[in-house]
Amino acid sequence: MSVFHTRPALRWLVPTGAALAIVGGGAAVGTFASAAEPSLPERSAAQLLVDLQTAQLDGLSGTVITRADLGLPSLPLPSGAGAARLASLVSGTHTLRVWYAGPDQTRVALLDTLGETDVIRNGSDVWFWDSQANEARHSTLSDSEPGRPAGAAALPSTPQEAADRALAAIDPSTRVSVGRSTSVAGRDAYELVLEPRDEGSLVGQLRFAIDAAEHVPLRFQVIPRGTRQPAFELAFTHVDFDRPDPVQFTFNPPPGTRVIEEPAGPEPRPGKDHPEPTVVGEGWTTVLVGRLPDDNRPGAGGPDDAGTPKPGDGLRGLLDRLPAVSGAWGSGRLLTGTLFSVLVTDDGRVLAGAVTPERLYTVAQQVR
């Protein structure tokens, strides 16, 4: 204390030191956590693949962060309907909480700042709850249906699902290797790396961090070709392998909620009046070729139209803002992201794929 009395200026060392310790300490913890490489017994890629497929998961609960930076121009996405809110996972950072106690007991909650959207499956009952609309949708799955609720978007909501889909894509066009072991959500993990061999693919690597003890994927990253920064990431920040309490899967719509019963069986999808897109090529460089509806009415989407109306000045207005391109194949507009390209030709064809624009031009010349 006496030093501080005689030299008051020295007092400023205390707040300065505290600030440096807190800011620097926080940064250092982050750096060390990511640099720390746990020493794990060697495991080959093939062994890891078998581990993934044979993992016996009794149950888990945890928090998942998704980060997406697809390099797209920021488009005005419709907000409001719960399904659209789930689809908003394609941009920005989101937090999900997941509970899993077997394939027929799952719950995924997408957290908003002051709200929550839940998809709960318990046996054959599927509930979709949207706290901000104060609305619950109920549907019943028949036994034959493989259980994905109708409202859920076509995006993986757990690293396990992402892994299953990617494993289905493994074929001779993919190089599989084991990366450096890592630490995710405080658990040691192996990293499995899938690399498309085809240079025409925009996907550089798919990386899975696989829990060393439970063989469950903890993190999934998509890294575009030529960068190191993931364009899409799905990772546990907190995970617990105890079987969750069954009460997590029971949902009773609270009084005052609008409850909507959805008819059983596959939903008749709106906006299906145009033909299915054709598929050109296979594996990583698959290109979908579709056709724009003739009347470019506002709200008519591309080949991935899920019936969500798009605001703004219609599709044409949106297209006109994209850069114009032309070549031997004709001319059109090009949308490029870090992971995929979409080409809309002036004669109304739509080509899309996780490929370079050059590949789209080639396909556009072949397929008329």
Judged by the rule CB under 8 A, the positions of this chain that interact with other proteins are: 4, 8-9, 11-12, 14-15, 18-19, 22, 63, 80, 92-93, 95, 97, 109, 111, 113-116, 118, 127, 129, 131-136, 238, 248, 251-258
Angle, to 10 degrees, between the axis of helix 45-54 and the axis of helix 159-168? 120
- Give 85 or 219: the residue with its C-beta nearer to other proteins: 85
Least distance in angstroms from the C-beta of 127 to other proteins: 8
Least distance in angstroms from the C-beta of 79 to other proteins: 9
- Give 34 or 366: the residue with its C-beta nearer to other proteins: 34
- Give 120 or 203: the residue with its C-beta nearer to other proteins: 120
CA-nearest of 97, 230, 240 to 158 is 97
Least distance in angstroms from the C-beta of 29 to other proteins: 11
- Give 257 or 296: the residue with its C-beta nearer to other proteins: 257
Tokens at 111, concatenated: 């957290």
Least distance in angstroms from the C-beta of 4 to other proteins: 7
Cβ-contact 179, 202 below 8 angstroms: no
Residue 161's contacts (CB-CB under 8 Å, 6 or more residues apart) are: none
Residue type, 91: S
Tokens 């364009």 -> residue: 231
Least distance in angstroms from the C-beta of 80 to other proteins: 6
Least distance in angstroms from the C-beta of 94 to other proteins: 13
- Give 8 or 226: the residue with its C-beta nearer to other proteins: 8
Cβ-contact 219, 159 below 8 angstroms: yes
Least distance in angstroms from the C-beta of 149 to other proteins: 15
Cβ-contact 202, 340 below 8 angstroms: yes
Q: Buried b vs exposed e over 12-48: b needs ≥16 C-beta within 10 Å?
A: eeeeeeeeeeeeeeeeeeeeeeeeeeeeeeebebeeb
- Give 47 or 250: the residue with its C-beta nearer to other proteins: 250
- Give 248 or 341: the residue with its C-beta nearer to other proteins: 248
E strand intervals along the chain: 60-68, 92-100, 105-112, 115-122, 125-130, 135-140, 174-178, 182-184, 187-196, 203-211, 217-224, 232-240, 258-261, 278-280, 287-291, 324-327, 330-336, 341-345, 349-353
- Reduced to 3 states (helix: H, G, I; strand: E, B; else coil), residue 113 is coil
Residue 148's contacts (CB-CB under 8 Å, 6 or more residues apart) are: none
- CA separation for the pair 197, 215 (Å, rounded): 26
Least distance in angstroms from the C-beta of 15 to other proteins: 4
Question: 283's torsion region: left (phi>0), alpha (psi -120 to 50) or beta?
Answer: left
- Give 15 or 226: the residue with its C-beta nearer to other proteins: 15
Measure the CA angle with vertex 108, ends 105 and 112; round to 5°.
160
Least distance in angstroms from the C-beta of 43 to other proteins: 30
- Give 115 or 317: the residue with its C-beta nearer to other proteins: 115
- CA separation for the pair 51, 73 (Å, rounded): 39
What is residue 245's DSSP assignment? P
